[in-house]
Structure 1
Amino acid sequence: MLGLKSCLTILIGYVIAVCALFSGKGKKPSLADWEKLKDQKLSSIDNFGLSGHSLLQFFQDNLAFLSYSKDNYRHKHVSLYYDVFKEYILRSAGTKKCLPVNSAIAKLNKDVNPMPVHSHNDYWRKLPLFEGLAYGARSTEADVWNMDGKILAVGHNEAYLDPVELTLDKLYTSPLLRILDEVNCQDSESDRKNGVFFNSPESTLFFYIDFKSDDNELTYKLLMQEYFKPLIDSGYLTYYDMKKNEIVWNPVTVVLTGNYPTSLDILDNGNYDGYFKSNQRFAFLDAPLLDLEPKYSSLSVVATASFNQLMEHCGSDHWKVSLRGHMDSNEINCAKKVIDDAHALELKTRIWGAPEWPANTVKTISHQIVHDLGSDLLNLDDLLMASSLI
């Protein structure tokens, strides 16, 4: 694999050569020339064989040579970095070619194994959705706001929403549909769909939708009818089979959290046979890990608690563990029983709010939560660090 410096050298030489060509013709590059040049540069990246963190770093280091000229470009979404990266990742998705080995998913995480990490407030990242997938995070999260009953905008604070560009479909559902279509284009006798992890296509991506608006019934209606319907129609969403009373796993598993509706009348649209009358329920509730009931086996797929709640349940607290730098055997045994009880109900588990400083404590406790307690997911903000310790 070429090193980043070597790649940079190649690109610099390439740009100099093209600029010299334009200069030799006595011609000022037009926007069409820049578009053609950029397309050639993006095409050449495939030859480097980069994916995961190496690909992210490559784009950050070489952004000036991969973008439009500054006189002709204004970013449309999150940032210039996001737009150029997204264009590269999705440039082959949606074409008539069917070659999953060269797909967007192959570019994102071909040399990365899925890790039990939840990409907390994923939309705050430089590359929403794509950064988490590049590191192999098994779970992602989007906070959604109902804008005038028509659009679900993504953001943390209502004062800074963009209902035109930063929406659930532009940042998440549309890219997910495109990259999943790209790896499910081949005829197969199996009903199993390939997912978003190259090395583990059978693994689902947990997609947390954090309801922020007061009108959660209308938000849920928009979510199902406008945003998730294309994914449902393509068979990409995990669902609860209401006839067989079992979970049918698919590439994306939707988990509702925050101010979400809990009434089955809302979740199933007033129907006894599911929202779309298909005997399938496509959204699951974020179950309370410390207050589980048997009903959650059909309503949920993941149970959640904060690290502090878990420690208080075990007669300790967040600060004691943080100062000590690790969980002791009593805390581990107690917390592990909570995790095991959830697993007995066939529920995955997620822990949030673990210590974030200092680095050694974060690494030690994160390792204990995943390996000693057996939690399936752990909220972590630093994905690069997570990839080195889990």
Structure 2
Amino acid sequence: MDEVGESRAALLRSGSGAADEVFTTILTRSPISRIDIARRTGLSQAAVTKAVTPLVAAGIVSEHAGPPRQKRPLGRPANPVALVADALVVLGIKVNVDEVIAVATDLQTQVLHSARVRLTEHDPATVIEAIVSLSAQLKDLLGEAAGRIAGVGVSVSGDVDGASGMVRESAIMSWAGLDLRAELTRRLGAPVVVENDVRALAISEHWFGVGLGTRSFAIVTIGLGIGSGLHVNGEVVEGTFGVAGELGHLPLASPDAICACGRRGCVEAVAGTPAIVARVSAAHGRAVTIEEAVRLAHEGDEAAADAFGEAASLIGTAIASLVNLLGPELVIIGGEAVRNFDLFDSTLRAAFADHAFGAASRCRILVRPHSFEDWARGAAATVVRSLLLPQADPVSEPS
């Protein structure tokens, strides 16, 4: 990072609680007046000005002149301040079993450049090499702006400890006990954040998506696995041990169903794409793809319809359990399977209605397709968050 980038990142990391609150408000609601910042944060206007002044001096926030004096309303002018979104740049990388997707974004995770590479193997060494290569590509594309890279965020499915950057277990990747952050920090020479992929997506939706302005919401993703990210009372839930919201591993299915994690009865063991494909393949006595399973279900094939129906019922029941426990106002359903959500929709919602307790049934269920670039933006959002909340999500500095 160049000298300007270093000073800007250091300023954000050194902020007090009030300063972080002010900057987060500007980050998510720019442009906004100091008066409105004070109203939203509960801080005095003097405290807001104290927090904004060094941000303006550092070039992270700009001051916008209001309308011409003769057109201004009477009283103190409410000139807005605005984020200089490209004051710092972050890289976000989403790791999939067959592909790695990388984006360079500004502070609001708007994509500046993107790159991706297919994987023929997904062992740690191969994936790390792909991440290093993609990071170098993005730096070349950024040119001079590469000197303002504040960090690299990497998101991976599974049991990921965001505090340490350790991938404790990822069944999809067949990884266990991988200190991914330490290795990437050494190879990239930049601060690195490693986070669970759905939790990273929840951070992104909280600040820059449909979760903005809600007190509590959850993301449920349907695809190879069944994931969940939780946002409760203004904070993304990480769990004391780095595990929270593992909806796919609630033991709601038959004990006969064996999950990729090695346990029995997990929702994912019946509702994940591999489980649906396996069930339809067994019924037809040959291997089918997920695309063929979808086609068969649409054509009224009984085995395919039953497979999707049971998956939808289990997911709806699991969502009801989550809503009964946490009481979010919104559940966002995403993941690669939502392109075929018509096969889940009515059964999922009926199961949710059957099991949601009392007023919990008023929780909205919103379907929101996410591209893999959106997932990579979620990884980028973890870096922005780590600049403001180092205690919750510390960034590893290169040695």
Q: Same-fold call, TM > 0.5?
A: no
Give me the TM-score of the superposition, normalised by structure 1.
0.23
Higher relative CO (Cα under 8 Å, sequence separation at least 6) belongs to 2
Higher strand share: 2
Give me the TM-score of the superposition, normalised by structure 2.
0.23
